[in-house]
Amino acid sequence: MSELNNFPFYERPDLSPYLVHLTKNTRAKDEFTAYDNLINILKEGSVWGSDKRGFIKGPNEAACFMDIPLTSLKYIINDKNCTVDDPRYEPYGVVITKKYAYEHGCRPVLYLSNQEMKDLQIPESEKWRVVRLDGVDGKSVNWVHEREWRCKGDFKLPPEPIAVLVENPNIAQRLQKRLFKSPKLYKSIPKSIIPLSVVCQGLPYLTL
């Protein structure tokens, strides 16, 4: 029976042992680029929880991650999600292991319709776990493809996350030099820096 619970990540291209949190620019609020926000995450050693503006239900904030293989991120970082003025995501982020995430309170979300959430009597204090799902016809509200995981409130990163993601090799080199020059400024220093333009074999919707 125990074998049925094993996840052979190395054998399955649709599975990953990692979770990803992607950043975006917040220029409208504080002039920060997606790169700036990644730097701030590493300095603070935490992924900050989002509120209702980040589509979190209920009174509690939640930190959000995606359970998507790195090579498949090009389907998330596309023209629809990466608009210049109001992007949903940009090619910058932090990668953690599922094992660490699970041990620190991160769980897959519940995909439910608003009516199902009422029928199940989900308490207000637990609504941060719920993502709206209204149908699977390609026209209704459906974010199942993100395979989202959440943690209530902020999520504390390990001192050495498995990796961070940046747009291209030039930015990877810049970040590497920055971390090497002033390591004491950062509560989390990644073990690796991965350029998504290489992993995804190009990001056609972005100018690199």
What is the arithmetic mean of pLDDT over 127-152? 92
pTM of full prediction above 0.85: yes
pLDDT in tens, 3-32: 666 667 878 888 899 999 999 998 878 889
Give the domain ranges of the chain: 2-110+144-199
Is 60 exceeded by the pLDDT of residue 208?
no
Label residue 207 by pLDDT band (50, 70, 90): low
Nearest to 203 by CA among 22, 72, 74, 68: 74
- The pairing of strands 110-112 and 130-132 is parallel
Is 70 exceeded by the pLDDT of residue 205?
no
Q: Partners of 18 in the beta sheet?
A: 97
Residue-level pLDDT at 184 = 97
Is 60 exceeded by the pLDDT of residue 1?
no
Residue-level pLDDT at 206 = 65
What's the count of helices (H) and strands (E) in the chain, helices before strands?
A: 6, 11
Evaluate whether 49 touches 193 at the Cβ level (below 8 Å).
no
pLDDT in tens, 157-177: 999 999 999 999 999 999 999
